[in-house]
Each structure stands twice: as C-alpha cells, then as structure tokens.
A and B are shown apart, each in its own frame.
Chain A
C-alpha cells in the first residue's frame, strides 16, 4: 500500500516536472501512433467509401475479410510483421526491425481495417440518403466520393479517433517488432510493461496516467462529436 502511495506521489512529480524520460517516451508514442493513424486513414477511408458505393464482383467477400481483419489479435500482427522484417524475411534488407517504422507498420495493419470498416458503415448510410440526388445531378464518380467523404466528416473523424485509441494503448505488436529499446523504440505501453516488471512503479504509473489521460481525451472527443452530429451543428 505504501509502495503504491509513494509511486503515485513520484508519478505526479515526474509529470509536474516534465521528466525527460517521460516526455521522450510520450512524444515517441504520439509520433508513432499519429503517423500510423494518419496513414491508416489515408488508406482506410477511401477504401471504406469505395466499398460503400461501388458494386463489383467480390465486394461482399472483401467486406467480410475487412471485418475479420478487425478482430485480428495484435500480437499475431506483430509476429507476422516481425517475420517479414526479420533479417531472413522478405524485407530484411531494409533493416526496419526494432525501429519506430516497424511499429508504425504494425499499427497501420491493426488500425486500417477498423477505420475502413467504420468509414464503410457511415458512408453506406449516407449513400442511401444521397444516392438519388447525386445521380439526378449527374455527379461524377469522383464527385460522389468526395461529397460523401466530406459530408460523413464527423463519422470519419470518429473513426480516426477510435483508431488512435486502439493504437495508442496497444502493446503486444509494438513490443515484438519494436523491441522496446531505450531511446529508440520505447513507447508508453512497452515502457509501462518494462518498468512494472522492474518494480519501478513511479515511472510506470506516471506513464499510465498519461495513457489514461489520452484515452479519456479521445473518448470525450468522440462523445462531443456524436453530440454535434445529433444536433446537426456542423
């Protein structure tokens, strides 16, 4: 009990004084996750939109695969990325294993299906609303897609936030492919795992609070977004 109390105190102290290690790890976490989410959005949103408005032969199977990928255990994603990037793997020559880039790749694979799936659902709904109007006004395929992406902007932002929430708290995959190397690939979740196992609760708790803070911020943002949606504020 005393240990926890002391841990809490020093955790607050670390945050209040902007401890160098803590700041470094937090920034790396944000950098990795934001990059991954950005790329996942760039891939997943057009993909989701395309699946919502374009009929083609293998549409249903593709959607089924997408939904299945959403449930992929991150640890397994980590394992697969590891195999691809390891020295003897197909991309071994790129020397990416145990770098932030490797972690970004793993997170992209974890987040893209989630973003694509939420985008697909939102755009499909909107498309059934807009279908007749867009056809009546002779919107080109490109214009239809842009209109839907723009008008589904709240739902898409929600998708991005959900993706961020999933990636920032993920530990299995980034541990495997990043290796949790100090000053190189150590991020919030992997650092917490390590510091806890070392019995260094102060740093672990401090990092934990930051992670919780980020998770809460994301949820508050999602909630606020759904409110503007209901009240049609923008």
Chain B
C-alpha cells in the first residue's frame, strides 16, 4: 500500500466568527514516531489535531496527504478528548468501525473481543458502554481507533483520566502501535508522558507553532521563554 505520509500543511488556519483559533501553520509530517503536541489550555492543540484530521474546516491554507483525500480519510483514526461512547455493548463499540467498513458482524465481533482484552476491559465486553468509568471509556475509544489499523492516529489527551497502572498499559499499547508502523500525533499536558513517549515535540502557544524539535532537544534546551517555563512547570498563560 502506498504510504499515507508525508503530510504537508501550508498556511493552514481555522477561524471561528472572525477569530483565528489556530495558524497559520506550516508543517511537514513524515516518517515514523510519536509527535507530542504540548501547550497551555486554549493554545489550540485540539483545534490543530481536528484540522489535520479534517474535522475542523480550514479557513485558509492547505492540508495535503500523500494520497487522495477520500482514501486518506479512511486511513486515519482519532481519539477525542472526551470519549464518544455509542449506546451499545463495549464489544460492539469496538467492532463498530469494522462494521461500517462492511466486515461481517461475527468476524468484526471476534476481532473486537481481542481488543477488549488487550486494553484490559475483558470482563466488561458484554456490558453497555454507558456504564464504564471515564478511564475505561478512554480505553474503549483507543481500542476502537486501533482496530482498523490506521496509518496515523490522532490522540487528544488519551490518558487524562487514567491511573498510573492504566497509563502504563496504554503507553505500552501506543509504543507497540508505533512499532507496527502507525504514526502518532498526540496532545498531552503530561510532561512525564511526553518525555517517555515523544520522538518529537510541537509546542503550541496562542494558536502558533512556537517550537518543533526532537524530544531530546526540546527537553534539554527549549528555545522560547514560554516553552522553558512550561517544562519547568511554571505557569504559562
């Protein structure tokens, strides 16, 4: 299969009611690894991810994949900041993308069972997803995103509600996913997590890309005052 990446972003911005939420952004995203997007609340992390995924309409500029858009759209997955849970069982939630793709119900469910176990929801496969806790819903959302083996995975604070053990499980899954060739773009507030996972860091501030560096360089020597303060744990407004 022809690679989906590189992704090319040129002068892209999103405006709502005249206010620019993000951009203009120029970005080339290729190869492998986990890119972590950091920045204070309201910096535009969610908007950036949604824009790249095609959920937030561009006001200016261009977002181009290595493949035609119609195909590119089927090869991306997105895990939302607030997990969206369908009113069905946990297993049927996870099988859902496969069923949309026309996979026979029985096979989709069997494959979903695997993922249910893999994200540690084994006991709850048959339960209505509505009863899951916040953290369990996040695991469900991750499994549902990974089940169709996307080429790129967008994650918007995927471990915000997880305890230490669940976070470790999820991070392991993300590393495995990356090792299997899925490109990951993840927004997080968790600096420790960024240090553990990131191969590179994009630092957003007030809708603009302030820095983009390998994780090593970013944490060793951030360029801008905002990023420095952010890493040190100072309050960045």
Residues of A whose CB lies within 8 Å of any CB of B are: 126, 129-130, 132-133, 135-139, 143, 147, 151, 232-234
Residue among A135, A143, A151, A232 having the largest count of chain B Cβ atoms under 10 Å? A232
Determine how close the nearest CB of chain A comes to the CB of B194; give it in whole angstroms: 24
Q: Is the CB of A133 within 8 A of B84?
A: yes
Q: With a CB–CB cut-off of 8 A, which chain A residues contact B130?
A: 232
Q: With a CB–CB cut-off of 8 A, which chain B residues contact A143?
A: 100
Q: With a CB–CB cut-off of 8 A, which chain A residues contact B219?
A: none
Q: With a CB–CB cut-off of 8 A, which chain B residues contact A129?
A: 84
Alpha-carbon distance A133/B74, docked complex (angstroms) = 13
Alpha-carbon distance A138/B88, docked complex (angstroms) = 19
Determine how close the nearest CB of chain B comes to the CB of A233; give it in whole angstroms: 7
Q: Is B86 an interface residue (CB 8 A)?
A: yes
Q: Is the CB of B53 within 8 A of A136?
A: yes
Q: With a CB–CB cut-off of 8 A, which chain A residues contact B87?
A: 126, 151, 232
Q: Is B110 an interface residue (CB 8 A)?
A: no
Complex interface bits, B86-109 against A, C-beta within 8 A gives 1, otherwise 0: 111000000011001000000000
Alpha-carbon distance A136/B154, docked complex (angstroms) = 11
Q: Is B77 an interface residue (CB 8 A)?
A: yes
Q: Is the CB of B55 within 8 A of A137?
A: no
Q: Is B80 an interface residue (CB 8 A)?
A: yes
Consensus secondary structure, chain B interface: mixed
Q: Is B128 an interface residue (CB 8 A)?
A: yes
Q: Closest chain A residue to B130 by CB distance?
A: A232
Alpha-carbon distance A205/B62, docked complex (angstroms) = 74
Determine how close the nearest CB of chain B comes to the CB of A55; give it in whole angstroms: 14
Q: With a CB–CB cut-off of 8 A, which chain B residues contact A234?
A: 128
Q: Is the CB of B53 within 8 A of A138?
A: no
Q: Is the CB of A138 within 8 A of B73?
A: yes
Q: Is B205 an interface residue (CB 8 A)?
A: no
Q: Is B218 an interface residue (CB 8 A)?
A: no
Q: With a CB–CB cut-off of 8 A, which chain A residues contact B88?
A: 151
Q: Is the CB of B55 within 8 A of A232?
A: no
Residue among A135, A137, A139 having the largest count of chain B Cβ atoms under 10 Å? A137
Given contacts A136-B78, A232-B128, 18 further A-B contacts (CB under 8 A): A126-B87, A129-B84, A130-B84, A132-B80, A133-B84, A133-B86, A136-B53, A136-B55, A136-B77, A137-B97, A137-B100, A138-B74, A138-B100, A143-B100, A147-B86, A232-B87, A233-B128, A234-B128
21 A-B contact pairs sorted by A residue (CB < 8 Å): A129-B84, A130-B84, A132-B78, A132-B80, A133-B80, A133-B84, A133-B86, A135-B55, A136-B53, A136-B77, A137-B96, A137-B97, A137-B100, A138-B73, A138-B74, A138-B100, A139-B100, A151-B86, A232-B128, A232-B130, A233-B128
